Structure 1
């Protein structure tokens, strides 16, 4: 069978199976572009000419559908039964979809949970940390060393540095204020209030000895 003949048969089978109207472009896309667009158009036209399918023109577009005369007549009772079945199947789909969503939610929850092996590893790490904290707590209660010699030296060094900087800045500030007060007509306290200066004495603090 040639490729064109295959396209004709494919279009006929598709329209008969779906039993609903489609344009040639729809058929081309729905057949997953297995056949060329031109081949599909020719197949539709050929089948319509041979009265194997129906052709209807809507404006500039042609729509094709299966020839309904080939299908047996269906009475009202059967149609109603089919409609009822469609409704039931629709309800079944909704129910199944809800169940699937619930299962997917549960699956995501379990996938995001840690495994038994990971939980065991975390437990071991936390147990080790607890033991370390117990040792430090015991050392604190007994008055033992809680920081290393290196850390102690770093703290004292920083204290000395900042205390010297404190004294230096206080001396510079006092020198500047002294120079201002030489030409200032009011008392020193008034100058401090006007400028908004707060002194160590206001807070009862002094630079530590180094």
Structure 2
């Protein structure tokens, strides 16, 4: 056991003026290469010299500095330490908040799709959009000629496809929104670069489709209620 070991143990205990278990001392002093056996010998020597006191708490023994050997702080010094502690607490709270934000961003990025997966989603949505446009054109062409049964069947197919399209469209927008926050450049330029066709670029009127979807769904619900009466 060296005098340096004792000095390091004593410095840790007195500088913080708080109790430590043997395991805690080992954890904090591991950076100096101190092992459990060396720390135990150093603590025993410090206790024998009256520089450190030991107290038993159940099965755990803790070590505290001899308070009579510590300097008594003036009111000004105590106030200064209190101010310093408050500042450190604020910095700690800020660091924890920043860590929380960073972790949330990391998790969001982890869940983001790859560029290849996004392009697959885009192709899928484009195909669905084309199907819906064709469905709308077919409905317009059959106005006044379809019978009620055909009209209901077509309406249900339209509503079903619209629900799927709206769901996937929402998923894409949510994923893209998260990714776009960490990208540079205009959204339109990025869309063009990765091959995203927007509603405007393909001439699709999403608002009209949504309005038609709402109208058809309301109509189907009314017909269903009539049949139940």
Same fold (TM over 0.5): no
**The structure with more radius of gyration:** 1
Higher relative CO (Cα under 8 Å, sequence separation at least 6) belongs to 2
Q: Which of the five TM-score ranges fits, normalised by the shorter chain?
A: 0.3 to 0.5
- Provide the TM-score with structure 1 as the length reference: 0.45
